[in-house]
Amino acid sequence: MTKIKFSLVYRDMWQSAGKYMPRVDQLTSIAPHIIEMGCFDRIETNGGGFEQINLLFGENPNKALREWTRPFNEAGIQTHMLDRSLNGLRMQPVPADVRKMMYKVKKAQGTDITRIFCGMNDPRNIIDSIRYAKEAGMVTQAALSITFSEVHTVDYFINLALQVIEGGADEICLKDMAGIGRPVWLGKIVTGIKEKHPDIPIQYHSHSGPGFAMASILEVVRAGVEYVDVGMEPLSWGTGHVDVLAVQAMLKDAGYDVPEVNMDAYMKTRSMNQEFMEDFLGYFINPVNRHMNSLLISSGLPGGMMGSLMADLEKNLKDLNKWLKKHNKPKLTEDQLLVRLFQEVEYIWPLVGYPPLVTPFSQYVKNLAVINVTQMAKGGDRWSMIPDNVWDMLTGKLGKLPGKLAPEILEMAKEGGKEIFNGNPQELYPDKLDEFRKEMNQNGWEYGIDEEELFELAMHPEQYRNYKSGAARQSFEEELHKRREQGGGLYRKAKAPQPKEEPAQQPSTMLIDVNGESFRVTVSYDDTQNVPQTGGTAPVEVPAAAQPVSSGGNTLEITSPLSGNFYLTKEMSEKPVKVGDMVKKGDVLGYIEAMKTYNTIRSDQEGVVAEIVQQTGAEVYEDDVLFVLNSK
């Protein structure tokens, strides 16, 4: 009788439902009961947005991870993390020295296995991480980012698996992040891998949203999968994962050797998860996230990202409809906007080379679709704004695309002077640990055990700085207070009747969680408060509008082309402009961060900086004045 083992994806379970994860005191209180359930060989304790989330509500992620993993280490249950290869634990590329350090620190903190995926499925990025992780003594599980298209065939994934196994992978994971892998098709992939490498363990991970997951689990197990990722109530199904009870019953009936579940411990764990939700986590979980949605089959958007997207869709729509009303255009319903977004993703995905819709490329494609849909709804053109991080994806700076770029994209690249990069992406991101050591020393910050604090700064610079300053804790407490007072997430309050006549539309911004991994990021089209930034993503080149001030013909205002957060610089190496500086046409003045993208603000006039109107980090609205220049 074949033995099947279960892994509880506890981190992903929360992040696929909403915005945050439990605090360290909650994690350590529930760990013994998870162990007592007696059915898990593995627990996902870290990865993705776990550490950013700790930092965002003012908690030290290194302390949290050590205390959270310890009970499982002592119980002999393997712990595993999710890492993004070239991107480490964040959204943008990481220098090689920081990548190497990550595995040493995570191993020292108690993480046994690293699940390595590349959002581009580029084996070069995965194999580099396999090498670094093995040097640190970790078990390496190479993940195939599962998506379904004319280029993502059975043979494509089998060949990818063979390449990473040859590169040193100890295990393989089928990471079906959107749950759109067709069951029989997935079974064929597993069969193909097992025919070549029967002794390589394979783990299957799927989100339940589109509805294939249970059938897929049965098919891959029949083909030879040994480990299955599961969730548990009250956070299974919906945008999350299948529940362990259902999977256990199905596989037991099919004749497999599966562990029994201690139901007393299950109910205790379930009850504690509910308490965590009632404490604060439920305020960041939209009820829609508890639903399954087969519209995801065509768009292929991953469950975690869809959960956060749906959570803020209502506010996004509200802002767009205000603009439409102001310009005497028909309003959109939530369903209309959602369908337009799905259709736009489905339309542009082949044109941009079929990047697997997984972090960060699911966000890039989704963000591009949002920009297109919004611009077209306002009467503009598709492709009117393509962020530079999207161009990095399109031009090979983040890995090789699985498909070919459409002629219209290639033409836009040529017109913009953008060249295709064919080298190893890591070459573009040089070592930087020495710069962060200098910052630690200047601030008098302790490096921590195994230099884990240095690592945290190097991996999550902006969030770590906000954590150290106390700004993160303050912002989180303010946001939570607002949600408790006004209602939010699962605890929405009834809306007060709106007046028939709304005041004139004012520029507004929104805070939307788009990665499904619970990053706090700013996005256009909402009206929430300023928050700590993720930092480090590449800018989109968007010339700011320069408009004469009515009171002086030689004075120009540089205004924001979109809503977001204003920054003078995006990297430590940049020198910010200051009052009195002479700037030329095309010079960089600053950045607007929106949708995890730093949008470059360039001067379209020559002149002297007379005033910097906004403070760095400030939330700004579309058409807000950023700079005042005195022209020559």
pLDDT of residue 15: 86
- pLDDT in the model for residue 217: 98
| Backbone angle region of 353, left / alpha / beta, with phi > 0 → left and psi within -120 to 50 → alpha | left
Whole-number average pLDDT of the chain: 85
Say which residue, 153 or 619, is predicted with more confidence: 153
Which DSSP symbol is given to 406?
Answer: P
What is residue 256's three-state secondary structure? coil
pLDDT tens column, 540-576 = 444 444 444 334 457 888 988 766 778 888 766 678 8
pLDDT class for 438, splitting at 50, 70, 90?
A: very high
Tell me the pLDDT band of 300, cut-offs 50, 70 and 90: low
Q: Which residues pair with 243 in a beta bridge?
A: 231
**Cis-peptide, bond into residue 234, ω within 30° of zero:** yes
pLDDT in tens, 315-352: 667 777 877 888 888 888 877 887 888 888 889 999 99
- From 537, 590, 538, 539, select the one nearest 566 (Cα to Cα): 590
* Cα distances (angstroms) measured from residue 627 to each of 541, 567, 605: 17, 12, 12
Mean pLDDT of the 421-441 span: 95
Q: Average the pLDDT over each of 199-213, 285-299, 378-392, 617-631 and give the range with the smallest value.
A: 285-299
In this prediction, residue 519 has a pLDDT band, given cuts at 50, 70 and 90, of: very low
Return all residues near 8 (Cβ < 8 A) that are at least 6 apart. 34, 40, 42, 43, 44, 229, 230, 231, 232, 244
**Residues 539 and 327 sit within 8 Å (Cβ to Cβ):** no
With cut-offs at 50, 70 and 90, classify the pLDDT of residue 513: very low
Query: Which is nearest to 462 in space by CA: 567, 547, 378, 366?
Result: 567
pLDDT digits (tens, 9 = 90+) for 444-494: 999 999 999 999 999 999 889 999 999 999 989 998 999 999 888 888 776
Separation CA 51–CA 58 (nearest Å): 11
Residue 538 near residue 598, CB atoms below 8 Å: yes
How far is it, in rounded angstroms, from Cα 236 to Cα 311? 17
138/169 Cα distance (integer angstroms): 11
Task: Answer whether residue 82 shows pLDDT above 50.
Answer: yes
Alpha carbons 144 and 118: distance in angstroms, whole number: 8
Confidence bin at 510 (pLDDT 50/70/90): very low
Instruction: Tell me the pLDDT band of 216, cut-offs 50, 70 and 90.
Output: very high
- Model pLDDT, residue 512: 39
- Residues 292-307: what's their mean pLDDT? 62
481's CB contacts (< 8 A; 6+ apart) are: none
Count of residues making up the chain: 632
pTM of the model: 0.80
Instruction: Give the residue with greater pLDDT, 103 vs 307.
Output: 103
> Average pLDDT, stretch 600-612?
87
| Domains of the chain and CATH, by start | 296-428 (1.10.472), 539-631 (2.40.50.100)
**Residues 495 and 286 sit within 8 Å (Cβ to Cβ):** no
Q: What's the one-letter identity of residue 392? A: D
Distance (Å) of CA 341 to CA 31, 166, 306, 317, 562: 39, 39, 11, 12, 19
Query: Which whole-number Å values give the CA distances from 128 to 45, 427, 570, in the listed order?
Result: 23, 12, 27
CA distance 568 to 62: 30
| Res 20 pLDDT > 70 | yes
Closest CA to 516 of 337, 305, 246: 305
CA atoms of 309 and 516, how far apart (whole Å): 8
Residues 470-482 have pLDDT tens digits of: 999 998 999 899 9
Residue 198: exposure state from Cβ atoms within 10 A (0-12, 13-18, ≥19): exposed
Q: How far apart are CA 623 and CA 558, in angstroms?
A: 9
- Per-residue exposure over 301-327, b if at least 16 CB sit within 10 Å of its own CB, e if not: bbbbbbbbbbbbbebbbbbbbbbbeee
Nearest to 243 by CA among 201, 290, 283, 281: 290
Q: What is the pLDDT of residue 49?
A: 77
Q: Using the structure block, give the residue that is written with the tokens 């230099």.
A: 451
The DSSP string of 185-244 is HHHHHHHHHHHH-TTS-EEEEE--TTS-HHHHHHHHHHHT--EEEEB-TTSBSTTSB-BH
pLDDT tens track for 22-81: 999 999 999 999 999 999 999 999 987 788 888 988 999 999 999 999 999 999 999 999
Q: Is 423 exposed, middle or buried (0-12, 13-18, 19+ CB in 10 A)?
A: exposed
Query: Are residues 119 and 87 in contact, defined by beta-carbon separation less than 8 angstroms?
Result: yes
Sheet containing strand 552-559, strands side by side = 545-549, 552-559, 625-631, 607-612, 582-583
pLDDT at 373: 85
Give the pair of three-digit tokens for residue 235.
Answer: 């956070």
Decide: helix, strand or coil at residue 156.
Answer: helix
